[in-house]
Amino acid sequence: MKEFDTIAAAATAMSSSGIGIIRISGDEAYSVMQKIFRPHNPEKKMNEQPAYTVHYGTIADGEEILDEVLVMLMKAPHSYTAEDTVEIDCHGGRLVMQRILDLVLRNGARPAQPGEFTKRAFLNGRIDLSQAEAVMDLIQSRNKLALRSSVSQLQGSVKQEIEKLRSAILYETAYLEAALDDPEHISLDGYSEKLLKKVQDICSETEHLVNSSENGRLLREGIKTVILGKPNAGKSSLLNVLLGEERAIVTEIEGTTRDVLEEQLQLGDLSLSLLDTAGIRSTEDVVEQIGVERARKQAEDADLILYVADSSRPLDESDEEILELLKGKNALVLLNKSDLNPVLTFEMMQSKTEHKILMISAKEEQGIHELEEEIRSMFFHGEIDFNDEVLITNMRHKAALLEAKKSLEMVMESIQNGMPEDFYTIDLTDAYLALGRIVGEEMGEDLINEIFGKFCMGK
């Protein structure tokens, strides 16, 4: 039974809770831990520690300390998965957890598939199927929004959409096969051009579904919102106002926020992940420079950027840089400190950007309600509608769609390269199978994976 490799994943949601847990399971769990964990007492030999003990220390990536953690050791078969297991209790927050997880993965574990810990518990005879399913139901119900959409998609819309694509592919495959077997009665003259068009259609519909997974992700993970602005423009105050608690350190000294702070904010049904970032300015402080770089990077993948501009100060190089960064992105410009005498006016800003501009005062909590309304309308109106839109929220589905799309592109490539017709069917079949795995009509690589993979990421 010990044929499994070592896997790792976050066992708690990757968001800003007080504590996050990274779980490593498998034969190599201890050795992975030893490579990255530095016990507080450097004399302590981690491989000699008894099971069910907890150890204090740090997680280090070479010289860099990532976090202070507690490490908990469990020995097979007395763990959740019935394998050697190490759990790292670190500070909550996406970034910290992500970095520790990356480090774990670089040191010999591979990312756990959705539901894989539970699957192993099941396969190792620790729990039976109904228990496994119960666990996964629980994990799934943790996120109500995603649950709502995943229920609706399994009930019909996605399935219908996928079946439509599948039957279109099947029709073409069948036609090709029939023509190969009975060339007298079924002609392939001019068929390639027709097929090319059809495959293009199927491919773009597949792509549309892939794109809808973006909306699905917004539902599941929240709108990733980054707050940008030069130092001391009021980003952290804004964050605090939105969250209603003192979280980021707000001081008068420029560059106080050196890292990225992550918070969850509920706006009605929608959850926003807010990332406050270090102010953007050229700096020679190494630590802060890393923060600045990170801020840029975060802004690159953000769903929404809130640019906080200090209306009491004129636009400078840093602002210009930020404005450059905003181009082509979803963004709102917030003219902060509207309670003070503005040096930078609405009109001046308007000439610099195409994005919507709002006047706020984070300190006086003015304009905050308007901001919330604006975000809501940007992401809620028409764009995300459970009833009409077919949404892909399951990452496994997205992966299968991407696979199908790739195969369809290869069919087009074969046609364009003038390959003989019998070559088309190889990739058509792959596309058909990939789509079939979404709706459970095809045996995937391993059915047990399928069954367990249907559930959300978690234990």
Partner 1 sequence: MNTVYRETCQAIVIGAGHAGCEAALACARLGIETIMFTVSVDSIALMPCNPNIGGTSKGHLVREIDALGGEMGKNIDKTFIQSKMLNVSKGPAVHSLRAQADKAEYSRSMRRVLENTEHLSIVQAEAAEILTEEKNGKQIVTGVRTVSGAVYEAKAVILCTGTYLRARCIYGDVSSYTGPNGLQAANYLTDSLKKLGISMLRFKTGTPARIDKRSIDFSKMEEQFGDEKIVPFSFTTDPESVQIPQVSCWLTYTSEKTHEIIRKNLDRSPLYSGMIEGTGPRYCPSIEDKVVRFADKNRHQVFIEPEGLYTNEMYVGGMSSSLPEDVQHAMYSSVAGLEHVRIVRNAYAIEYDCIDARQLYPSLEFKNIHGLFSGGQFNGSSGYEEAAAQGLMAGINAARMIMEKEPLILDRSQAYIGVLIDDLVTKENREPYRMMTSRSEYRLLLRQDNADLRLTKIGYDIGLISEERYQQLLEKEKQIQAEIKRVEKVYVGTSEEVQRFLEEHGSTPLHSGISLEELIRRPELNYEMLSSVDPDRPELMRGVAEQVNIHIKYDGYIRRQQKQVEQFQKLENKKLPENLDYDEVPSLRIEARQKLKEIKPVSVGQASRISGVSPADISVLLVWLEQRKGKKD
Bridging pattern class, strands 110-111 and 7-10? parallel
Rule CB under 8 A: is residue 137 a binding residue for partner 1? no
Rule CB under 8 A: is residue 113 a binding residue for partner 1? no
Which residues, other chains included, contact 306 with Cβ-Cβ below 8 Å and sequence gap of 6+?
225, 226, 227, 228, 238, 331, 332, 334, 371
State CA 70 to chain mean position distance. Answer: 26
Q: Is the Cβ of residue 319 or residue 427 nearer to partner 1 in the bound state?
A: 427
Q: Draw the binding track, 381-420, toward partner 1 (x: CB under 8 A; -: no contact).
A: -----------------------------x------xxxx
Rule CB under 8 A: is residue 448 a binding residue for partner 1? yes
Among 5, 68, 128, 293, binds partner 1 (CB under 8 A): 128
CB of 51 to partner 1, least distance (A): 21
CB of 184 to partner 1, least distance (A): 5
CB of 140 to partner 1, least distance (A): 19
The rounded distance, in Å, linking the Cα atoms of 241 and 281 is 24
Rule CB under 8 A: is residue 430 a binding residue for partner 1? yes
Q: Answer for the pair 104, 57: CB distance below 8 angstroms, yes or no.
A: no
Rule CB under 8 A: is residue 269 a binding residue for partner 1? no
Part of the chain binding partner 1 (CB under 8 A), chosen from 59-67, 117-125, 286-294, 390-398 = 117-125
Among 12, 124, 149, 206, binds partner 1 (CB under 8 A): 124
* Strand ranges in 62-166 using DSSP code E only, listed in sequence order: 64-74, 85-91, 110-111
Query: What b/e sequence results for 373-387 when a residue is b if at least 16 CB atoms lie within 10 Å of its CB, and e otherwise?
Result: ebbeebbeeeebeee
Nearest alpha-carbon partner for 280 in 291, 269, 267 = 291
Bridging pattern class, strands 19-25 and 7-10? antiparallel
Among 163, 339, 372, 442, binds partner 1 (CB under 8 A): 442
The rounded distance, in Å, linking the Cα atoms of 16 and 94 is 7
CB of 405 to partner 1, least distance (A): 15
> Which residues contact partner 1 by CB under 8 A?
1, 122-125, 128-129, 177-178, 180-182, 184-185, 410, 417-423, 426-427, 429-430, 433, 440-443, 445-448, 450-451
